[in-house]
């Protein structure tokens, strides 16, 4: 029997997970990607799903489909709940079903989640923006607020709070969300309602920092603020959120004043916290975590004391690398190359070096800011660059074509192609959160399941199919198929 191949387990199907898996395509390894969603998510365009420009399918294609032609890769659905560094196993769960997957090399790319800076209770009324669920919930809340305002206005009620939208966090995501809600109110929806004037909606962008888009520098930050204000967004800086409830957000201004902003729709786009798997790795390896829960790794992205374990992307604290897609992509490719090189007996690579390709933020149609090296771009040129780059990076030809079509509809026209919302989009998160075991409480408990045996069975069946296919090919080539006419 042939010796088993080197097993690589990849945790996560985001930028790090997907690009790491793809980079192992030609390597003599078996890759198992374990991820808690069945899709790869292009997070930079989540705000466009939330504001009705794109569909969720366009930014979140099925990982299984992307990897369908990569013969050495398989995908397992499951939330990783444990990593045992000594036993070299990863334990994952889905709907109460547990799977234990063994590895020889491990790439952990579980990313980050929204941080409420110790006030997780804010999340009930101020959803974050990290997942398809978040974006669809926000879509339901934003479009729903206009609907409720129309109803209220019909009944003669005060609808100011329904027409007030507060975005917390003036980083790229907050800027993009505020800009898009302003465009919705002032352009897209202005003719659709009879009892409210959507143009009277207030869009407020709040941040405790003294400027918009801090990583872009003072000049571009000021330019972005100016553009947002032209769109009608109220930019409030130096304002710290101290409370969030169903009806309002309370802030403390830098002069000590406290203000309660009455608003129905709140969006949290401030702060991230690395995946809790960082803590699991830290507890076993002794590698320290920083305040955002990111784990310190070696310059070759390995976990101290565990050269077979790589951590990449938003989870790592190394040389002040930013939490951006390119850090995850380049880190994952580096880890894959190291694993392949080791199997081929090559010299270790030089330490990981991040190549900064620049950053961009879109403000509204035809308006964006970009920082590429020392080059600062604004306006239409930056916007066109943003458009071209995002088209390149969206996964799959089909999604690129439909996204382009939807951008035409939204940017050249007035429409939004994806305005469908449902009650469940808005309330399912809270409902599931009230169940002790989450969605697992809604299904029958699983019978005994031997994951290792099941994986062996899958491999056996695959081998059987491959043998049958090669036998068929041999018969065809040898002309031994069918009945020869002269023998009749």
Ligand X SMILES: Cc1cc2nc3c(=O)[nH]c(=O)nc-3n(C[C@H](O)[C@H](O)[C@H](O)COP(=O)(O)OP(=O)(O)OC[C@H]3O[C@@H](n4cnc5c(N)ncnc54)[C@H](O)[C@@H]3O)c2cc1C
Binding site for ligand X (CB under 6 A): 11-17, 34-37, 43-44, 46, 79-80, 109-111, 129-130, 172-173, 275, 277, 313-314, 323-326, 328
Q: Which helix (H) or strand (E) holds 6?
A: strand 6-11
Q: 60 with 41: CB under 8 angstroms?
A: yes
234 is catalytic: no
Q: Dihedral sign for Cα 330, 274, 176, 233, please.
A: negative
Least spacing, CB of residue 215 vs ligand X, in Å = 11
Helices (H), 24-55: 46-50
User: Which of 28-37 are b and which e, b meaning 16 or more Cβ less than 10 Å from the residue's Cβ?
Assistant: ebbbbbbbbb
Least spacing, CB of residue 144 vs ligand X, in Å = 21
The three-state secondary structure class of 46 is: helix
The backbone torsions φ and ψ at residue 265, rounded to the nearest 5 degrees and listed phi first, read: -105, 120
Name the residue with the smallest CB distance to ligand X. 14
Least spacing, CB of residue 361 vs ligand X, in Å = 7
Least spacing, CB of residue 439 vs ligand X, in Å = 15
Least spacing, CB of residue 260 vs ligand X, in Å = 27
Least spacing, CB of residue 78 vs ligand X, in Å = 6
Least spacing, CB of residue 114 vs ligand X, in Å = 8
The three-state secondary structure class of 232 is: coil
Q: Which is nearer to ligand X, 215 or 348 (CB)?
A: 215
The backbone torsions φ and ψ at residue 266, rounded to the nearest 5 degrees and listed phi first, read: -125, 140
Q: 203 with 182: CB under 8 angstroms?
A: yes
Task: Give the angle subtended at the CA of 338 by the CAs of 301 and 65, to the nearest 5°.
Answer: 95
Token pair listed for 279: 């803590």
Residues ≥6 apart with Cβ < 8 Å to 384: none
The three-state secondary structure class of 162 is: coil
DSSP 346-413: PPPPPPP------EEEEEETTEEEEEETTEEEEHHHHHHHHHHHHHHHSSSHHHHHHHHHHHIIIIIS
Query: Up-side HSE of residue 136: CA atoms within 13 Å toward CB?
Result: 18
Least spacing, CB of residue 102 vs ligand X, in Å = 16
Pairing type for strands 164-168 and 202-207 reads parallel
Q: 102 with 7: CB under 8 angstroms?
A: yes
**Any idea how long the chain is?**
488
Q: 184 with 192: CB under 8 angstroms?
A: no
Q: Which helix (H) or strand (E) holds 132?
A: helix 132-154
Could you say which of 65, 147, 157, 176 is catalytic? 176
Q: Which is nearer to ligand X, 110 or 149 (CB)?
A: 110
Q: Which is nearer to ligand X, 202 or 294 (CB)?
A: 294
CA distance 32 to 103: 9
Write out the catalytic residue numbers: 176
């Amino acid at each position: 029997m042939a010796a088993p191949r080197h097993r690589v387990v990849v945790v996560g199907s985001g930028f790090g997970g997907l690009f790491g898996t793809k980079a192992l395509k030609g390597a003599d390894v078996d890759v198992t990607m374990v991820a808690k969603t069945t899709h790869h998510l292009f997070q930079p365009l989540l705000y466009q799903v939330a504001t009705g420009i794109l569909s969720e399918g366009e930014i979140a294609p099925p990982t299984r489909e992307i990897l369908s032609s990569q013969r050495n890769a398989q995908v397992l659905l499951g939330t990783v709940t444990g990593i045992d560094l000594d036993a070299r196993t990863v334990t994952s769960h889905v709907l109460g079903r547990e799977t234990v997957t063994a590895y020889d090399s491990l790439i952990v790319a579980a990313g980050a989640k929204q941080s409420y800076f110790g006030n997780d209770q804010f999340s009930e009324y101020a959803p974050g923006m990290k997942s398809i669920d978040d974006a669809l919930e926000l879509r339901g809340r934003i479009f729903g607020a206009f609907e409720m305002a129309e109803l209220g206005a019909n009944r003669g009620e005060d609808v100011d709070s329904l027409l007030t939208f507060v975005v917390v966090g003036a980083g790229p995501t907050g800027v993009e969300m505020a800009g898009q809600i302003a465009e919705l109110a002032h352009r897209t929806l202005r003719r659709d309602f009879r009892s409210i004037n959507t143009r009277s909606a207030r869009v407020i962008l709040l941040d405790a920092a003294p400027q918009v888009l801090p990583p872009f520098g003072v000049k571009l930050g000021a330019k972005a603020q100016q553009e947002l204000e032209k769109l009608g967004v109220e930019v409030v800086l130096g304002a710290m959120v101290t409370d969030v409830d169903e009806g309002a957000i309370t802030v403390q201004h830098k002069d000590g004043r406290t203000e309660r902003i009455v608003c129905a729709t709140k969006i949290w786009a401030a702060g991230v916290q690395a995946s809790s798997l960082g803590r699991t790795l830290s507890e076993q390896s002794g590698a320290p975590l920083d305040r955002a829960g990111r784990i310190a790794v070696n310059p070759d992205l390995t976990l101290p004391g565990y050269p077979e374990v790589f951590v990449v992307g938003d989870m790592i604290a190394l040389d002040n690398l930013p939490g951006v897609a390119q850090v995850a992509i380049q880190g994952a490719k580096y880890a894959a190359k190291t694993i392949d090189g080791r199997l081929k007996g090559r010299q270790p690579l030089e330490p990981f070096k991040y190549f900064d390709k620049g950053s961009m933020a879109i403000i509204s149609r035809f308006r964006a800011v970009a920082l590429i090296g020392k080059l600062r771009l604004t306006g239409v040129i930056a916007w066109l660059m943003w458009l071209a780059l995002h088209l390149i990076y969206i996964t799959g030809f089909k999604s690129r074509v439909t996204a382009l079509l939807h951008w035409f509809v939204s940017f050249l026209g007035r429409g939004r192609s994806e305005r469908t919302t449902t009650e469940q989009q808005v309330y399912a998160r809270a409902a599931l959160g009230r169940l002790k075991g989450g969605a697992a409480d809604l299904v029958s408990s699983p019978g005994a399941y031997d994951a290792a045996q099941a994986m062996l069975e899958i491999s056996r069946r695959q081998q059987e199919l491959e043998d049958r296919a090669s036998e068929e090919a041999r018969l065809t080539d040898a002309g031994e198929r069918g009945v020869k006419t002269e023998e009749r």
